[in-house]
Structure 1
Amino acid sequence: MRASEDAYRRRSVWGVLVVALLIGVYLVQHGLGTGGPPQPAHAYAAVFDPVHEAAARQLPAAPDPLPSSRPVAIRIPAIEVAARLTPVSTDKEGWVEAPPPERRNLAGWLDTSPTPGEQGTSVIDGHVDNATGPAVFYSLGTLQPGQHIDIARKDGSTAVFTVYGIEAVRKDTFPAARVYGEKGKPELRLITCGGDYTKEGGYEGNVVVFARLTEVRR
């Protein structure tokens, strides 16, 4: 009788753990766990460009633009990101394609944008999550102005960018000109999915990080 009761208790405990694990996986996959991925404070406002530009004016003077060199890796110390980069293109509707979803620690550099450190605005995107849980840019929404993004380039140099703005924007009113537009200096944009999630439509928006080249390491 005692052995049967102990076995029953063990089965019950394991049953609870398995159910809890399955619920956790479901919530992560469906963007609902603890409210979904972290979101920036500036979410779904009309225009934050003046705020960004005020912060950008406080940055150190930008170094001279670098020559073209393909980016190979990204590192964001503040959110413990260290990932390889792969070239990606745009789809038929003009959206930046993402890396293969099963590669959760891989980000994509838009190969029609300047290479990071060149004159112009370079674009890198990555998944916020996939079927197995959080992915490379899951914590992007927690970045703060003043934090750094390091891009290792094939020529051996590292382009260091300083964040000066971060916001969430709706996909149906995505401000392409403001996000991708030329700023007169070497710039970087990091993009991932964000906002509310539905099984039918996925994430309703994007998290966008605005950063500017402030250092070059060789």
Structure 2
Amino acid sequence: MRKVGNSAIAAVTVVALCCGAWLLRSGVETHAPPQPSAAQAHAARDAEGAGAPALPPSPPDRVRIPALHVDAPLMGLALTASGSLDVPPAAKKNLAGWYEAGTTPGETGTAIVAGHVDNADGPAVFYDLGALRKGGAIEVDRRDGSVAVFTVDAVEVYRADSFPDEKVYGPAERPELRVITCGGGYSRATGYQGNVVVFAHLTGVR
């Protein structure tokens, strides 16, 4: 199963995480989640930065983003019968998932973590993801007892109709992480119109 390409999940990650039931009920003016500014996007002049050596495969158990006060367990996500990426149960607001048929966080390649921005009751695990800034830390507890520490390279937002599959899900030559939730504006008719994506790479292990 580990050989399944990440690109296979791209189109539906955009759709499956983006219901916005809370905003529909509460209104968008005061409750819309933060969106990343242009300053947090990739820039041509950005250097890749130093990285840490890749780790052997090990499933992740927990993700932490200290700047956002995120500390959440991770569940494995598979593909549904239609080929889309399944998502964590919306009712469990402090739960994220990782694509367990792909790269494990810390090994060479692109690991995928996804979670809801909100549910019918209010903000969920990645509600503030769009406020994360370059240079921030993401920590992933792994089942082998190690903690993979990633540094944020960019935070970008994409509309669903122009989601860059290869950029987000494509293979990497170093250990990289993508953290994905909803974003890109909100419509009462369709819900969230895109995704916030955090790009990060492995810089430490403890």
Same fold (TM over 0.5): yes
Preserved CA contact (<8 Å) 2:51 2:203:
yes
Q: In the alignment, what sits opposite 2:198?
A: 209
Give the fraction of aligned pairs with identical amino acids, expressed as a percent: 50
Preserved CA contact (<8 Å) 1:39 1:195:
yes
Tell me how far 1:30 sits from its aligned partner.
Answer: 5.5
Q: In the alignment, what sits opposite 2:88?
A: 99
Tell me how far 1:102 sits from its aligned partner.
Answer: 0.2
Higher helix share: 1
CA distance in 1, matches of 2:89, 2:179: 17
Q: In the alignment, what sits opposite 2:36?
A: 40
- How large is the RMSD of aligned CA atoms in angstroms? 2.1
Matched residue type, 1:39: Q
- Is 2:67 aligned against 1:78? yes
Preserved CA contact (<8 Å) 2:51 2:202:
yes
Tell me how far 1:93 sits from its aligned partner.
Answer: 5.4
Tell me how far 1:41 sits from its aligned partner.
Answer: 0.9
Q: TM-score, normalised by structure 1?
A: 0.78
SS in 1 for 2:93: coil
CA distance in 2, matches of 1:29, 1:159: 38
Tell me how far 1:94 sits from its aligned partner.
Answer: 4.5
Tell me how far 1:122 sits from its aligned partner.
Answer: 0.1
Q: Which has the greater radius of gyration?
A: 1
The residue correspondences of 1:1-218 to structure 2 (distance < 5 A) are 27=23, 29=25, 32-34=28-30, 36-42=32-38, 51=43, 54-57=45-48, 59=49, 61-91=50-80, 94-217=83-206
Tell me how far 1:91 sits from its aligned partner.
Answer: 3.7
Higher relative contact order (CA 8 A, sep 6+): 2
Tell me how far 1:56 sits from its aligned partner.
Answer: 4.4
In structure 1, stretches of 5+ residues that fail to align are 1-24
Tell me how far 1:156 sits from its aligned partner.
Answer: 0.2
Matched residue type, 1:196: G
Q: In the alignment, what sits opposite 1:15?
A: none
Matched residue type, 1:183: A
Number of aligned residues: 185
